């Protein structure tokens, strides 16, 4: 864990959709170079947390700070420019742009990530670079979504549902890539249901239940308390 | 209610010396929207007429309430209700468009007020729906079309192509033309009301090769047609005749494209009579533009009211005022002025050409007489006797 | 059918289509990307014509006048966006309709106050005021050919901008998923403003091109706006290619319909009835086209959000 204080610091985050409150005070931290997971059953507020961090949803209360910058209530493009790279739930690639255009349209062009590095990471994308985004398979779309986020040279990658609904072979490929990213020092906040794979790459875990963090700890601690936590995790 | 009436009476009493009458006129014109320029001409013409009477038509203190019909019949009806009930007007004058006149006709002629149209002259109110409380100082709509038709026929043109917007006035206009045109109609094309590009119609004209084209295309539609017709190089090849299309309201926009085109009218700025000279001169001085027939007819309406009210000794006796209006003893800018049995004037119609006044301003100028003392074709259907 | 007439009418349809495209392109971008219904887009067209007519009169040169009118029209567009429209993004469509309708009223009357109610004179530039003799001896106004050429050139430039540049990618991405685009670092408000300015410029360009053949008057954009909406519905909301295809279709169908439908009706009905029925049918034709397209493809011919280009 980094010593110079956390990179992302979320405290007391509350959010709601209209009258229905979903988050009731979420606290979490991600340090430099860390891979952290956010676990929880369906509908517990994981995506809402991510959206509130990104500024896609204005929080009701609480605070989001990233690399010492106050992001609470700021528009999403500021969060992105501050270094948050979002791979959203449902992938949300631009269907009417080619693979290559999806990657370069929002690239920041000032960091280490280039088109060819992304293509090296996901060779399938290189083959399909002139294909429209909408014509890709689900797995390819997820690769594209990850590549697209990397092209913004994020300091922290936010992955909402990293492998949801993908074929086993593709999942494997994606976990492999995430592992290599971690090894290269990339900080990641990842949401997924695949505990086994997550445990292999993650440093720490948070468990979210009904809009509150109900547990946090290392992979070993998670294993030790697994039976007690099973109910919260829904796995 | 009683109190307000009393207060109004008191106020009226305070404002006027005891026993004096005043004259209240509602002037209805189209002052907003695309056709506002015609309404502006009408209003300015009428107001000059009031001014020439020293602000006192018939010697009475005159209050003119100007209302804007927005070229919407429902708005016009509302406005006229206000004029009749709130302003208690003696006369509603003005009205540029026939559909507006038809909308306000019944409410006004069935009230205590007179209705004096300075422009619109739809067939029903000249014919069987004529009224003893309605007068017109312009013409019946068909007459101008008929006059052009007669001239086109007289000048030996055999084949014409007809073009008008697809609405009642468009169809009536072409019917009026055909009544006096004796040759062959090679095609009769109706365009969407408000259409602004006539390239398709112009191509059809080119392909049909008529001897002449006759059109009724009021307002902006006409400006576009005239410009595009000239741009297509047809102006000098196939003469374009029209009614209510090329006039002083549209010539500033069509400029050279409109010059040399022929139409018909009861009045032109160059008509040689004393009243007209004064009217045109003062109008241009005051308003800074050349008046059109809209202005001239409205000026005549004001002069008619002036003469009649004076002759009737006020507005209290409606029958007396009606009799004076019928006699129309005023110097019209068109020269002699006389009403037919249906309260429409019997006027001379001239062939007019878009040309330049001596100072270079474009205007419709008189070329020759087409109809002398032309009574409209619907007067026979009007049961009124006097 | 007379082949020369058919050819001339096709040119006429093309010319109308090109003008429609210029107006519809901005409308569809603004609607597709910002989900904003801008009824006042027709006013931009009108203002372009007024500026061009005025600047042409002042400078004595059509090209100079046009060069001054374009930035002026963009300026008005940007000012409108800043002062009014941006407060209505993300609001109910009805609010947007009401707000932009108010802008129409305000600007139309303002133009009337400044320039007067009489249509402005805007002569065809001398170098294009002649007629060109085409195949088979038919003549065609040179200026209309200029409109077709200029319009197609701008359409090609716009296509290149949208299809080949980074800005174009952002525009297309914004048309399919503006929220995601923002989450990837694009300042969507700035993009909106740029798109708005682009739309204002295209509409202004259409206005200045159309000015010399149509009369320059405050209401000149009203009719065109309705047609432009038909175009973007046919083409697919937010899609430039769709707007192009839709505009040419509407231009051709409307022109050819006006030209030949009455004659076609005369084959089945007596001439006097055909004269009534033909124009009624031809004025409905493009709406029939729109309905037909919507039945076959409810999102239009080339929707922006679809998976296919
Ligand atoms: N746009 C929305 N409007 C209203 N309620 C919403 C909206 N999005 C999510 N919710 C509700 O908020 C709660 C949390 O949803 P969220 O998507 O954050 O859950 P999640 O933990 O990401 O679930 P999943 O694992 O299914 O993705 C759910 O009850 C959901 O129904
Ligand atoms: Mg979720």
B220 plus B90 within the same structural domain: no
Domain assignment of residue B382, yes or no: no
CATH code (residue B152): 3.40.50.2300
Domain assignment of residue B340, yes or no: yes
Nearest to C186 by CA among C168, C174, C199, C198: C174
Number of domains in chain B: 2
State whether residue A54 sits within 8 Å of chain C by CB.
Answer: yes
Per the CB < 8 A criterion, the answer to whether B343 and B384 are in contact is yes
Q: Is the CB of A234 under 6 A from ligand 1?
A: no
Mutate to test the interface with C, among B219, B227, B259, B361 (most CBs of C within 10 A): B227
Q: Which residue stretches of chain B are H helix?
A: 2-15, 36-52, 73-85, 98-109, 123-126, 141-154, 168-180, 199-208, 219-231, 251-254, 274-287, 293-312, 318-327
Beta-bridge partners for A36: A189, A204
B25 plus B132 within the same structural domain: yes
Domain assignment of residue B381, yes or no: no
Domain assignment of residue B383, yes or no: no
Domain assignment of residue B156, yes or no: yes
Q: What is the DSSP string of chain C?
A: --HHHHHHHHHHHHHHHHHHHHHHHHHHHHHHHH----TTHHHHHHHHHHHHHHHHHHHS-HHHHHHHHHHHHHHHHHHHHHHTGGGGTTS-HHHHHHHHHHHHHHHHHHHHHHH-SSPBP-PPPGGG-SEEE-GGG-EEEHHHHHHHHHHHHHHHHHHHHHHHSHHHHHHHHHHH-HHHHHHTT--HHHHHHHHHHHHHHHHHHHHHHHTTTS-B-TTHHHHHHHHHHHHHHHH-TT-HHHHHHHHHHHHHHHHHHHHHHHHHHHTTS-HHHHHHHHHHHHHHHHHHHHHHHHHH-TT-SS-SSSS--
B184 plus B285 within the same structural domain: no
Mutate to test the interface with A, among C184, C193, C300, C305 (most CBs of A within 10 A): C184
Query: Given ligand 1 and candidates A44, A58, A214, which is best to mutate, with the most ligand atoms within 8 Å of its CB?
Result: A44
Going residue by residue through chain B, which has 386 residues, state the pLDDT in tens, using 9 for 90 and above: 444 444 444 444 444 444 568 999 999 999 987 788 899 999 999 999 999 999 999 999 999 999 999 999 999 999 999 999 999 999 999 999 999 999 999 999 999 999 999 999 999 999 999 999 999 999 999 999 999 999 999 999 999 999 999 988 899 999 999 999 999 999 999 998 888 889 999 999 999 999 999 999 998 889 999 999 998 889 999 999 999 999 999 998 887 899 999 999 999 999 999 999 999 999 999 999 999 999 999 999 999 999 999 999 999 999 999 999 999 999 999 999 999 999 999 999 999 999 999 999 999 999 999 999 999 999 999 999 98
Give C157 to chain A, closest Cα distance, Å.
19
Q: What is the DSSP string of B20-32?
A: --EEEEEEEE--S
Question: Using CA positions, which residue lies closest to atom 16 of ligand 1?
Answer: A45
Going residue by residue through chain C, which has 309 residues, state the pLDDT in tens, using 9 for 90 and above: 688 889 999 999 999 999 999 999 999 988 887 889 999 999 999 999 999 999 999 999 999 999 999 999 999 999 999 999 989 988 898 999 999 999 999 999 899 899 987 788 888 999 998 888 887 777 899 999 999 999 999 999 999 998 899 999 999 898 889 899 999 999 999 998 999 999 999 999 999 999 999 878 888 888 889 999 999 999 998 888 999 999 999 999 999 998 898 888 888 888 888 888 888 888 899 999 999 999 999 889 988 765 333
B201 plus B243 within the same structural domain: yes
Domain residues for the domain of B27 are 4-139+271-345
Token pair listed for C198? 């682009």
What is the distance between the alpha carbons of residues B191 and B194, in angstroms, rounded to a whole number?
A: 8
Domain assignment of residue B188, yes or no: yes
B304 plus B319 within the same structural domain: yes
B241 plus B169 within the same structural domain: yes
B133 plus B148 within the same structural domain: no
B70 plus B197 within the same structural domain: no
What does the pLDDT look like over C233-278, one tens digit per residue?
999 988 889 999 999 999 999 999 988 988 888 888 888 888 888 8
Q: Which domains are present in chain C?
A: 3-296 (1.10.3470)
B12 plus B116 within the same structural domain: yes
| pTM, two decimal places | 0.81
Domain assignment of residue B360, yes or no: yes
B243 plus B177 within the same structural domain: yes
B324 plus B295 within the same structural domain: yes
Q: Which ligand 1 atom sits closest to the C-alpha of A50?
A: 18
């Amino acid at each position: 864990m980094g010593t110079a204080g956390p990179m992302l610091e979320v405290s007391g985050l509350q959010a709601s959709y209209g009258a229905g409150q979903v988050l009731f005070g979420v606290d979490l931290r991600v340090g430099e170079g860390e891979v952290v997971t956010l676990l929880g059953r369906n509908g517990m507020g994981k995506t809402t947390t991510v959206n509130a961090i990104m500024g896609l949803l204005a929080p009701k209360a609480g605070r989001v700070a990233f690399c010492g910058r106050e992001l609470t209530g700021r528009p999403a493009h500021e969060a992105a420019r501050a270094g948050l790279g979002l791979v959203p739930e449902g992938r949300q690639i631009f269907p009417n742009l080619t693979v290559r255009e999806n990657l370069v349209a929002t690239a920041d062009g000032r960091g280490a990530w280039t088109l060819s590095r992304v293509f090296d990471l996901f060779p399938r994308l290189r083959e399909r670079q002139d294909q429209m985004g909408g014509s890709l398979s689900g797995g390819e779309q997820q690769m594209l979504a990850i590549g697209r986020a990397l092209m913004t040279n994020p300091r922290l990658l936010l992955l909402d549902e990293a492998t949801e609904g993908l074929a086993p072979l593709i999942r494997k490929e994606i976990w492999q890539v995430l592992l290599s990213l971690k090894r290269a020092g990339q900080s990641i906040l990842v949401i997924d249901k695949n505990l086994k794979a997550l445990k292999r790459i993650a440093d720490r875990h948070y468990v979210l239940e009904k809009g509150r963090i109900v547990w946090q700890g290392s992979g070993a601690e998670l294993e030790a308390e697994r039976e007690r936590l099973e109910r919260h995790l829904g796995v | 209610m009683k109190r307000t009436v009393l207060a109004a009476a008191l106020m009226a009493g305070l404002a006027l010396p005891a026993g004096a009458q005043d004259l209240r006129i509602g002037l209805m014109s189209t002052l907003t929207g695309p056709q506002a320029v015609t309404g502006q001409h009408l209003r300015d013409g009428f107001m000059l007429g009031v001014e020439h009477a020293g602000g006192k038509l018939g010697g009475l203190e005159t209050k003119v309430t100007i209302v804007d019909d927005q070229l919407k019949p429902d708005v016009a009806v509302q406005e006229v209700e206000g004029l009749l009930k709130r302003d208690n007007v003696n006369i509603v004058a003005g009205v540029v468009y026939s559909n507006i006149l038809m909308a306000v006709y019944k409410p006004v002629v069935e009230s205590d007020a007179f209705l004096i149209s300075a422009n619109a002259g739809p067939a029903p109110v000249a014919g069987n729906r004529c009224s003893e409380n309605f007068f017109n100082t312009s013409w019946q709509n068909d007459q101008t079309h008929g006059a052009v038709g007669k001239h086109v026929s007289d000048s030996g043109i055999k084949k014409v192509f007809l073009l008008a917007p697809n609405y009642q006035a468009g169809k009536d206009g072409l019917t009026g033309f055909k009544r006096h045109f004796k040759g062959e109609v090679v095609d009769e094309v109706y365009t969407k009301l408000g259409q602004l590009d006539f390239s398709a119609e112009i191509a059809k004209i080119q392909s049909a090769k008529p001897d002449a084209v006759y059109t009724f295309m009021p307002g902006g539609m006409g400006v576009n047609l005239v410009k595009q017709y000239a741009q297509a190089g047809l102006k000098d090849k196939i003469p374009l005749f029209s009614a209510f299309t090329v006039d002083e309201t549209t010539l500033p926009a069509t400029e050279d494209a409109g010059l040399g085109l022929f139409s018909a009218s009861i009045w032109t700025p160059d008509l040689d009579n004393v009243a007209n000279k004064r009217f045109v001169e003062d109008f241009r001085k005051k308003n800074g533009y050349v008046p059109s027939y809209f202005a001239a007819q409205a000026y005549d309406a004001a002069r008619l009211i002036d003469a009649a009210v004076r002759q009737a000794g006020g507005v209290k006796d409606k029958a007396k005022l009606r009799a004076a209006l019928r006699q129309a003893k005023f110097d019209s800018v068109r020269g002699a002025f006389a009403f037919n049995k249906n309260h429409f004037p019997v006027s001379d119609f001239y062939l007019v050409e878009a040309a330049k006044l001596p100072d270079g301003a474009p205007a419709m100028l008189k070329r020759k007489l087409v109809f002398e003392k032309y009574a409209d074709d619907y007067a026979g259907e009007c049961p009124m006797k006097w | 059918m007379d082949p020369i007439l058919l050819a001339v009418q096709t040119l006429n349809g093309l010319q109308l289509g090109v003008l429609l495209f210029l107006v519809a392109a901005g409308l569809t971008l603004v609607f597709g990307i910002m989900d904003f219904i801008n009824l006042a887009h027709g006013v931009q067209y009108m203002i372009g014509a007024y500026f061009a007519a005025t600047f042409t009169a002042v400078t004595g040169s059509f090209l100079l006048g046009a060069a001054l009118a374009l930035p002026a029209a963009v300026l008005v567009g940007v000012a409108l966006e800043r002062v009014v429209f941006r407060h209505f993004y993300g609001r109910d469509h009805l609010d947007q309709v009401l707000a932009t309708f108010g802008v129409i009223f305000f600007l139309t009357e303002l133009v009337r106050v400044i320039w007067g109610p009489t249509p402005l004179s805007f002569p065809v530039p001398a170098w294009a005021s002649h007629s060109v003799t085409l195949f088979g001896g038919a003549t065609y106004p040179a200026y209309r050919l200029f409109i077709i050429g200029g319009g197609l050139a701008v359409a090609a430039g716009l296509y290149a901008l949208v299809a080949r540049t980074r800005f174009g990618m952002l525009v297309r991405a914004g048309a399919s998923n503006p929220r995601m685009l923002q989450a990837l670092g694009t300042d969507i408000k700035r993009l909106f403003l740029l798109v708005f300015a682009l739309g204002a410029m295209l509409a202004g360009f259409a206005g200045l091109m159309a000015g010399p053949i149509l009369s320059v008057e405050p209401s000149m954009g009203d009719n065109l706006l309705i047609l432009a909406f038909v175009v973007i519905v046919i083409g697919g909301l937010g899609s430039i290619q769709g707007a192009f295809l839709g505009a040419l279709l509407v231009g051709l169908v409307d022109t050819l319909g006006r030209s030949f439908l009455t004659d076609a009706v005369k084959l089945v009905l007596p001439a006097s009835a055909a004269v009534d029925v033909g124009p009624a049918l031809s004025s409905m034709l493009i709406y029939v086209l729109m309905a037909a397209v919507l039945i076959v493809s409810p999102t239009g011919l080339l929707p922006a959000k679809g998976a296919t280009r």
